[in-house]
Amino acid sequence: MNYQYVIIGSGPTGLGAAYRLKELGITDFLVLEKEDHIGGLATSFVDEQGFTWDVGGHVQFSHYKYFDDLMLKALGADGWLTHQRESWVWIENRFVPYPFQNNIKYLSQDTMWKCLDGLIDLYKNPFQGKPKNFREWILATQGRGLGEVFMFPYNFKVWAYPTEDMNAVWVGERVSVVDLHRITKNILFNNDDYSWGPNATFQFPKHGGTGGIWEAVGDLVGRENILLNAEVTNVDAQQKQITLADGRTVGYQTLLNTMPVDLFTKKVQGLDPAVVEKAQGLKHSSTNVIGIGLKGQPKAELATKCWMYFPESNSPYYRITVFSNYSPNNVPDINTQWSLMVEVSESPKKPVNQETLMAETIQALLEDGLIESADDIISKFHIRFEYGYPTPSVERDGILKTVLPALEPFDIYSRGRFGAWKYEVSNQDHSLMQGVEWANRVAMNVPELSLFFPDTANAMWGK
């Protein structure tokens, strides 16, 4: 088998690249997928009881018209539900609207003052210089009080690495900065303040979970162009030949990789060993998704909520999605059932006991008042992905500046959530567009935008 273009991985990046090639009239390509299904981290699963689960709390919003048009083509106008974002923080046995920083009026008086005192101190004594890491960025923009109350504990639960191990380059639109004037006014006038961020409204598929989107995009690409159960074990960069786990070989002229680039470099024969070693310095966290299917209906307090953040240490999870609120078809019978989708991060700095995780999760759900009785649970689902989040570590950009360019003389490109390791452009829309922009580059010599200019790409939201 020989192709002009070979794409490793059928997540949003690989499918975006394949779709764009086909759109350009290029059919001499093949997508290799090691699993027996497409979608990567954007796939969905249906458990034995008929509950649908995603790999974490995906929501559909976009920075790109191209992406929006493709989503419409994939599922049609009738294939989507539109939601108003309702995200909350559970802290001190109460729900605080997100962004937390703008709504500290909900906290106990002592905690509110701790946050406000840190902001006043920051106002009087501004941070000098440029923050060296994410911890310093938090102290420089949020103050020590907000850092200790929310930002430090929550971000450790999300990223599974201490904030001092992370850079601050990725932050961009991901973290709401603090406005002392706005916060003080919210406290004095008892204002609720929800209007921040790029996903104030979002879409979700009526059927099939997030995976249903990418199954439909796979159909547009053409299933004949996607080879499943095709695990890559070796890439001969000089001969331009891929060897699969079953012994088959695939030749290519140009290769796009979307598997984790640290793993990929170890498979590339002919690459400088120093580059391979450099790539191993990239950090990632693992994702545990636990699905809890329940009988009955959610309590009124949860009836319209989308997702919730949990900074406190009593619970293993950092985020929970009321997944039955996203689509009634995420549960077998929306009239008698509902569901919670729980996310737990894991890394060498934050180990997780797989044997006890389900029991700890259920206990915390009871303590946090999200479920009333363990007897209401009719489905338990747990799946773990070794590569969940690409950590924007302090070393990351230096590593990527060495590794990604080293592949290109061999006509090999690495893109996508883990292929390029840029968290700030790794949502579904970003990931797909990394594939689209790669196709435009190799087929038409059009420069790529999203990977190399994340701030510009993210500034396009709403345009």
Q: For the residues 168-188, what does the mean pLDDT come to?
A: 76
Interatomic CA distance for residues 112 and 35, integer angstroms = 49
Interatomic CA distance for residues 298 and 300, integer angstroms = 6
Interatomic CA distance for residues 418 and 52, integer angstroms = 25
Can you identify the CATH homologous superfamily of domain 2-42+66-77+207-282+392-459?
A: FAD/NAD(P)-binding domain (3.50.50.60)
pLDDT for residue 462 = 44
pLDDT for residue 214 = 98
pLDDT for residue 84 = 86
Interatomic CA distance for residues 212 and 370, integer angstroms = 28
pLDDT for residue 183 = 85
Sign of the dihedral through C-alpha 344, 149, 312, 160: positive
Compute φ and ψ for 84, nearest 5 degrees.
-85, 130
For tokens 């360019």, name the residue. 405
Interatomic CA distance for residues 414 and 260, integer angstroms = 9
| DSSP E strand stretches across 305-456 | 307-309, 319-321, 337-346, 377-390, 412-414
Are 263 and 416 in contact, with CB atoms under 8 Å apart?
A: no
Q: For the residues 2-17, what does the mean pLDDT come to?
A: 98
pTM, rounded to two decimals? 0.94
**204-245 pLDDT tens trace:** 999 999 999 999 999 999 999 999 999 999 999 999 999 999
Interatomic CA distance for residues 463 and 450, integer angstroms = 15
Interatomic CA distance for residues 56 and 344, integer angstroms = 9
pLDDT at residue 463 is higher than 70: no
Domain residue ranges of the chain, discontinuous segments joined by +? 2-42+66-77+207-282+392-459, 101-188, 284-390
Interatomic CA distance for residues 431 and 414, integer angstroms = 12
Q: For the residues 433-456, what does the mean pLDDT come to?
A: 96
User: Two tokens at 163?
Assistant: 């904030």
Helix axes 109-124, 180-189, angle to 10 degrees: 150
pLDDT for residue 180 = 81
Taking the chain, what is the end-to-end CA distance rounded to the nearest angstrom? 43
For tokens 């961020």, name the residue. 197
Q: For the residues 439-456, what does the mean pLDDT come to?
A: 96
Interatomic CA distance for residues 264 and 386, integer angstroms = 15
The vertex-211 CA angle with 30 and 9, nearest 5°, equals 30
Residues 6+ apart with CB under 8 A from 243: 232, 233, 234, 235, 236, 249
pLDDT at residue 197 is higher than 60: no
Interatomic CA distance for residues 36 and 58, integer angstroms = 21
Interatomic CA distance for residues 387 and 283, integer angstroms = 10
**54-79 pLDDT tens trace:** 998 777 778 799 999 999 999 999 99
Burial of 210 (0-12, 13-18, 19+ CB in 10 A): buried
SS3 string of 1-29? CEEEEEEECCCHHHHHHHHHHHHCCCCCE
Closest CA to 52 of 219, 203, 205: 205
pLDDT for residue 85 = 84
Instruction: Give the rounded percent of residues in the chain with a pLDDT score beyond 90.
Output: 86
According to CATH, the topology of domain 284-390 is Polyamine Oxidase; Chain A, domain 2 (3.90.660)
Helix axes 12-23, 209-221, angle to 10 degrees: 30
Are 6 and 32 in contact, with CB atoms under 8 Å apart?
A: yes
pLDDT at residue 188 is higher than 50: yes
Is the preceding omega at residue 454 within 30 degrees of 0, hence cis? no
The CB-side HSE value for 334 (13 A sphere, CA atoms) comes to: 12
